[in-house]
Structure 1
Amino acid sequence: MIRISLFIIICFLLFRAVSGAVSRYQDRHGAGASFKRMVRQGRLDAGVYDDAVWFEVGHGRRRRLRSNISREQQRVIRQARLEMREDFLDDNNPGFYQYVIIFLVASVLGLVLETVYTFVTFGILESRVGLVWGPFSPLYGFGAVLLTAVLWPLRKRPVWQLFLLSAVLGGLLEQVAGWSMEQFAHLQSWTYLGLPDHITQWVAWRFLAMWGLIGVLWCRVIMPEMVYRIGEPTSKRQKVVVGLLTAFITLDIVMTVACFWRAGQRSEGVPPRGPFEAYVDTHFNDDFMARTFENMKVGEDLPVSSK
């Protein structure tokens, strides 16, 4: 788990480094959507081209002028972009629209990164999805939403406060998720009982520290940029799409809970009660569950590891 968390953090930092390099390239040439937005809003004026060097680019008749903006003016552009982002974040708190997108993005990226990590590290390519439909790992999505909802008004607090609060939130999330799966579906996906620093079956000190680190990075590096890039819906189409995605993911979660509930009941020999449970047993039987959720165990304990 620690290695997976570090792998995810490294991937996010690499993405941030790449996006920063793209932004610096655009600043140098006076290009990009954010540059044009700052010009429209009056945050930048013609003075940004002072001392710029102009040259032609293109082929044949499709030639145009491109600028190489001076380093001093590039600093002006970066400062204007930072101010524009901070003004947006101060005036717009995340709402339902942003939380849905954050949940979906974190669920998909978390699944992809975990799958890649497992294959690269252990040579194992297995299904690590958390829902019956779609490439989603909802624990990552719920974690991102929880950190965003709680830390948003506190994002400018000292780092040590963010670290402690994130550690507590992460521990509570793991405990509630692990306990709920065990109690209501006889399902186990992870266990820390073999670790010397475990607190409960689903919480250990080392992972609380990792949650704290993830929370600080999320709050200071990832969350502001993600919320800013998501922005506010500017058309009815965006609202409709997010509404349909919400309906789908809600149905997906409900059906997944029902499937795991029946899987646990089947492991105890309990027959279906009613047409819906019979439908679940027919279309989401034990073979389907074992094939789809390869890293989870229904009705049995996971092997205890000391790693």
Structure 2
Amino acid sequence: MKKKCERSSVSSIGFYKLFWVFMVGCVIGVAIEVFFSFVTTGRIVNPQGVIYGPFNPVYGFGVVFLTLLLYPVFNKQWYIIFILSMVVGGGFEFLISYLQQFSTGTVSWQYQQLPLNLYGRTSLIFSFYWGVLGFLWIKKIDPSISMVIAKPPKKMGLIITWILIVFMIFNLTISLLAVDRWEQRINNIPANGAVGVFLDKTYPNSVLEKIYPEMTHLGHT
């Protein structure tokens, strides 16, 4: 007889659930980073990754990858889940840092000051945190929220989901465009067309500096 705690296969995870896993990860990640920073440094940081709302897609997509990759090993020993979470989380953090610099010329975190860092994009200590997060997520948090996600009011749940999908696509797109234009302004590149003029007027440097106080401009890779 199979254990009651055994999870279903990855094939049973649908788009609906993954989207809500993404949204929950975006919010929980921001909350954890604010709490961690306050406890360790006494500072209140603003770790949001998009212009509108307390969302950080790095955590959202990270949790989605953890969910997909850790489901098959849900019933394995804790250290296997922990190590896989470290590898997946650290690798994902490195990849996102590189893609952010490649696309916008900026980075949102730098770990050069930490020992055992990989080009400043990830480090052993933060991979350790990803390991803890992955284990807690797949064993404790995800089973709880899955019970809620699995039973939404069908029509209303779908309507809310699609409204949020459209909102987040817009949010991610405008945030990337605004940050890329911010980098262009720093390099004295004039606005090119109506979109550039709109971005300069709506999202000037002073606005983006408040939204992304930790962001560093390094130039495109």
Query: Which interval holds the TM-score relative to the shorter structure?
Result: 0.7 to 0.9
How many angstroms does 1:164 deviate by? 2.5
> Does structure 2 retain, via aligned residues, the 8 Å contact 1:263–1:298?
no
Q: Scaled by the length of structure 1, what TM-score is found? A: 0.64
How many angstroms does 1:286 deviate by? 0.5
Residue 215 of structure 1 corresponds to 134
Q: Distance in 2 between matches of 1:209 and 1:116?
A: 17
Query: Does 1:238 pair with 2:163?
Result: no
Q: Distance in 1 between matches of 2:117 and 2:188?
A: 33
Q: Distance in 1 between matches of 2:154 and 2:129?
A: 39
Q: Distance in 1 between matches of 2:135 and 2:106?
A: 31
Q: After superposition, what is the alpha-carbon deviation per residue over 1:143-193, rounded to whole angstroms, capped at 9, x for unaligned?
A: 111111211232122333322321221122111111122222121221121
Name which of 51, 54, 65 aligns with 1:135: 54
Q: Scaled by the length of structure 2, what TM-score is found? A: 0.87
* 1:253 partner letter: L
* 1:158 partner letter: Q
* 2:71 partner letter: W
How many angstroms does 1:284 deviate by? 0.5
Q: Distance in 2 between matches of 1:142 and 1:265?
A: 27
Residue 103 of structure 2 corresponds to 184
- Give the fraction of aligned pairs with identical amino acids, expressed as a percent: 27
Residue 167 of structure 2 corresponds to 248
* 2:92 partner letter: L
Residue 117 of structure 2 corresponds to 198
**Aligned CA distance change for structure 1 residues 220 and 123 (closer, same or farther; 3 Å):** closer
Q: After superposition, what is the alpha-carbon deviation per residue over 1:216-240, rounded to whole angstroms, capped at 9, x for unaligned?
A: 2222222222222321444211111
> Does structure 2 retain, via aligned residues, the 8 Å contact 1:267–1:299?
no
**Aligned CA distance change for structure 1 residues 204 and 267 (closer, same or farther; 3 Å):** same
Q: Distance in 1 between matches of 2:98 and 2:130?
A: 18
Name which of 68, 71, 74 aligns with 1:149: 68
Structure 2: unaligned runs, 5 residues or longer: none
Q: Distance in 2 between matches of 1:155 and 1:232?
A: 22
Count of residues in correspondence between the two structures: 216
SS at structure 2 position matched to 1:90: coil
SS at structure 1 position matched to 2:120: coil
Residue 264 of structure 1 corresponds to 183
Equivalent residue runs for 1:284-295 within 5 Å: 284-295=203-214
Residue 165 of structure 1 corresponds to 84
Residue 111 of structure 1 corresponds to 30
**Aligned CA distance change for structure 1 residues 126 and 196 (closer, same or farther; 3 Å):** closer
Q: Higher relative contact order by CA 8 Å / sep ≥ 6: 1 or 2?
A: 2
Residue 275 of structure 1 corresponds to 194
* 1:275 partner letter: A
Q: Distance in 2 between matches of 1:114 and 1:215?
A: 15
Q: Distance in 1 between matches of 2:178 and 2:145?
A: 33
SS at structure 1 position matched to 2:118: coil
Q: Distance in 2 between matches of 1:160 and 1:116?
A: 26
* 2:84 partner letter: L
Larger Rg: 1
SS at structure 2 position matched to 1:191: coil
Residue 45 of structure 1 corresponds to none
How many angstroms does 1:126 deviate by? 4.0
Q: After superposition, what is the alpha-carbon deviation per residue over 1:227-260, rounded to whole angstroms, capped at 9, x for unaligned?
A: 2232144421111111111110111001111111
How many angstroms does 1:121 deviate by? 4.1
Residue 90 of structure 1 corresponds to 8
**Aligned CA distance change for structure 1 residues 117 and 209 (closer, same or farther; 3 Å):** closer
Q: Distance in 2 between matches of 1:228 and 1:244?
A: 22
Query: Does 1:229 pair with 2:148?
Result: yes
How many angstroms does 1:299 deviate by? 4.4
**Aligned CA distance change for structure 1 residues 153 and 248 (closer, same or farther; 3 Å):** same
* 2:180 partner letter: W
* 1:137 partner letter: N
